[in-house]
């Protein structure tokens, strides 16, 4: 599909999504949807430099905050419409991205990543000491209660972020399939060989940093109107830097669809965690999933589906135990948070199912995946003190005064014992080899 046709199709899909979302009566849907769309833009922007060119950028939060504080500055001088603010935020962040690239892109590998991290620290220090935008105290930006034709102002912000998402995804796809994208790929694969072949690597990297920074700035421009109060700790938050990296890596960095998949997956899980548990566990969930996918699918979900091959170390006994423990611990924590949190637990049970399947297939015992199936079922099925096995555990514990437990805890104990048995059994078994026969 040609890029202009794809852009038109994406616009139509975006319009349908927006029209359908207006039938949702709960306003929180638009608040949560805005965050997920915002992460899609940030992940796509990061992937243009980090995925297409292979230059890891730890300063995503800096470009996002520049867009936000550009809005705060204009709001104090002369308030303007959101589309204008997004353009201004994109221009400011794009210029800073170009300047940063010109100064740092001669560095490579970890040195470039450290330089981008230093940029975020420097910009945050400048904002903290700039009283006009509130400094360390922060600044209030009161958004209107309504918007003409749409009603709620948050629906307007949701629509603008949806439009920016369509533009960024369509733009990333167009870049990937153009001569510019092929140039980016040569830098990622072998920059020295690309330079020797006459590829203008510095110019291409400057283009990548400018586009990436501009998109991040545009994503940050509506943020003050969304949240109502901006302070440096929020705008330069670790969550933006971590998610901008984790989402493309989990989805896949070599394709435009990878950041979209990763952002939808992680963004949705984090919003569910915010409602059911607390936003404080969001980065913990992201960190665990990032470790999982680095081991299981180094090329992300897109690479896993395309190549149909998991990481070579996943089926090793030590790695198998590590992954099992790493994903079992969150399920134990989520089990104590009530039934509403179990939807997040299903993500970790699905990973355990995949890990046991891979290990079982290697050793010739695919039925190992039954163990996480049992665990997932016990976490979802409501139980009482009359449930078989559970009732036995409850009655046994009542015989010891200090060990009295309730049915949910009994289910957790039974599930944990089953999983430990499955983990030990799966790690202890070796590859099954065909028996030798003698004539």
Q: Give the number of residues written for the chain.
A: 439
Q: How far is CA 12 from CA 6, 17, 148, 165, in A?
A: 10, 9, 22, 13
User: Does residue 334 share a domain with residue 206?
Assistant: no
What confidence tier does 46 reach under pLDDT thresholds 50, 70, 90?
very high
Last residue of a domain, one of 281, 299, 328: 281
Q: Is residue 94 part of a domain?
A: yes
Residues 158 and 74 in one domain: yes
Question: What pLDDT is stored for residue 16 in this prediction?
Answer: 93
| 11 and 139 co-located in one domain | yes
- Rounded to an integer, the average pLDDT of 30-57 is 93
Q: Is residue 386 part of a domain?
A: yes
Q: Which has the minimum average pLDDT: 19-23, 122-126, 162-166, 408-412?
A: 408-412
Per residue in 96-105, pLDDT (tens digit) is 999 988 888 7
Q: Which two tokens stand for residue 6?
A: 């794809």
**Highest-pLDDT range among 136-140, 220-224, 337-341:** 220-224
Of 111 and 218, more confident: 218
* Of 187, 25, 166, the residue nearest 112 (C-alpha): 187
Cα gap 252→257, rounded to integer Å: 8
pLDDT reported for residue 402: 42
pLDDT over threshold 70, residue 399: no
pLDDT band at 387 (very low <50, low <70, confident <90, very high): low
Kindly indicate the confidence band of residue 148, based on its pLDDT and cuts at 50, 70 and 90: confident
* Residue 135 lies inside a defined structural domain of this protein: yes
| pLDDT bracket for residue 364 (50, 70, 90) | confident
Q: Is the pLDDT of residue 233 over 50?
A: yes
Q: What is the pLDDT of residue 268?
A: 92
**What does the alpha-carbon distance between residue 143 and residue 141 come to, in Å, rounded to a whole number?**
6
Distance CA 294, CA 72 (A): 38
Inter-helix orientation angle 201-220/28-50, to 10°:
170
Are residues 260 and 180 part of one domain? yes
| Enclosing domain of residue 339 | 312-428
Q: Is residue 215 part of a domain?
A: yes
Residues 244-290: tens digit of each pLDDT: 999 999 999 888 999 999 999 999 999 988 888 877 788 888 899 99
Position 435 confidence tier, pLDDT thresholds 50, 70, 90: very low
Q: Where residue 401 falls among pLDDT bands split at 50, 70, 90?
A: very low
Q: Which of 79-88, 242-251, 382-391, 426-435 has the lowest mean pLDDT?
A: 382-391
| Residue 325 sits in the same domain as residue 408 | yes
The predicted pLDDT at position 413 comes to 80
Residue 201 lies in a domain: yes
Least confident stretch, 61-70, 340-349, 380-389: 380-389
**Candidate ranges 313-322, 351-360, 373-382; pick with highest mean pLDDT:** 351-360
Statement to judge: residues 263 and 344 lie in one domain? no
Residues 338 and 230 in one domain: no
Question: 172-188, pLDDT tens digit by residue?
Answer: 999 999 999 999 999 99
Domain end point (choices 281, 302, 336): 281
The answer, yes or no, to whether residue 338 has pLDDT greater than 80, is: no
3-state helix, strand, coil in the chain (%, to 5): 75, 0, 25
Alpha-carbon distances of 291 from 36, 160, 237, 284, rounded to whole Å: 21, 33, 21, 11
Q: What is the pLDDT of residues 175-225, one digit of tens each?
A: 999 999 999 999 998 888 988 888 898 899 999 999 999 999 999 999 999
Same-domain status, 270 and 342: no
With CA atoms as reference, report the closest residue to 411 among 372, 367, 381: 381
In a domain, 153, yes or no: yes
Residue 439 lies in a domain: no
Contacts 24+ apart (CB under 8 A), 364-373: 364/431, 364/432, 365/426, 365/429, 365/432, 368/422, 368/425, 368/426, 370/422, 371/418, 371/419, 371/421, 371/422, 371/423, 371/426, 372/419, 372/422
- The number of domains in the chain is 2
Same domain, 137 and 214: yes
Question: Could you give the CA distance from residue 372 to residue 422 in angstroms, rounded to a whole number?
Answer: 8
Give the pLDDT confidence score for residue 406 in this predicted structure.
Answer: 62
* 277 and 318 in a common domain: no
**Alpha helices (H) in 51-109, listed in sequence order:** 60-77, 82-104
Together in a domain, 77 and 186: yes
| 160 occurs within a structural domain | yes
* Phi, psi dihedrals of residue 230, rounded to the nearest 5°: -120, 130
């Amino acid at each position: 599909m040609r890029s202009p046709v794809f852009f038109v199709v994406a616009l139509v899909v975006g319009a349908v999504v927006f029209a359908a979302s207006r039938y949702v009566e709960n306003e929180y849907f638009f608040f949560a949807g805005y965050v997920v769309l915002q992460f899609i833009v940030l992940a796509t922007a990061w992937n243009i430099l980090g995925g297409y060119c292979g230059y890891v950028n730890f300063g995503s939060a800096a470009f996002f905050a520049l867009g936000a504080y550009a809005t705060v500055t204009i709001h104090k001088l002369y308030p303007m419409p959101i589309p204008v603010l997004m353009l201004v935020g994109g221009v400011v962040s794009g210029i800073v991205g170009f300047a940063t690239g010109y100064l740092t892109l001669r560095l490579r590998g970890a040195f470039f990543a450290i330089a981008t991290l230093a940029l975020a620290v420097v910009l945050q220090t400048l904002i903290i000491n700039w009283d006009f935008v509130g400094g360390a105290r922060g600044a209030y930006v009161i958004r209107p209660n309504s918007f003409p034709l749409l009603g709620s102002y948050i629906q307007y912000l949701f629509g603008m972020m949806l439009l920016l998402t369509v533009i960024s995804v369509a733009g990333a796809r167009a870049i990937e399939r153009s001569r510019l994208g092929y140039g980016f790929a040569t830098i990622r694969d072998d920059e020295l060989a690309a330079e020797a072949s006459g590829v203008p690597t510095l110019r291409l990297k400057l283009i990548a940093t400018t586009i990436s920074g501009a998109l991040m700035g545009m994503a940050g421009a509506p943020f003050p109107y969304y949240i109502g109060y901006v302070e440096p700790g929020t705008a330069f938050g670790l969550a933006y830097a971590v998610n901008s990296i984790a989402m493309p890596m989990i989805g896949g960095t070599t394709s435009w669809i990878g950041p979209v998949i990763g952002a939808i997956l992680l963004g949705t899980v984090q919003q569910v965690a915010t409602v059911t548990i607390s936003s404080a566990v969001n980065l913990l969930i992201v960190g665990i999933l990032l470790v999982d996918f680095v081991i299981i699918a180094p090329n992300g979900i897109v690479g896993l589906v395309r190549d149909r091959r998991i990481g070579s170390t996943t089926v090793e006994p030590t790695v198998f135990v590590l992954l099992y423990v790493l994903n079992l611990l969150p399920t134990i924590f989520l089990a104590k948070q009530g039934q509403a949190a179990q939807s997040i637990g299903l993500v970790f049970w699905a990973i355990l199912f995949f890990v046991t399947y891979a290990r079982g297939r290697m050793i010739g015992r695919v039925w190992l995946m039954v163990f996480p199936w049992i665990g997932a079922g016990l976490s979802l099925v409501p139980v009482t003190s009359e449930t078989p096995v559970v009732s036995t555990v409850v009655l046994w514990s009542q015989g010891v005064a200090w060990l009295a437990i309730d049915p949910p805890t009994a289910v957790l104990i039974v599930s944990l014992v089953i999983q430990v048995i499955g983990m030990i059994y799966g790690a202890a078994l070796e590859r099954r080899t065909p028996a030798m026969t003698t004539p």
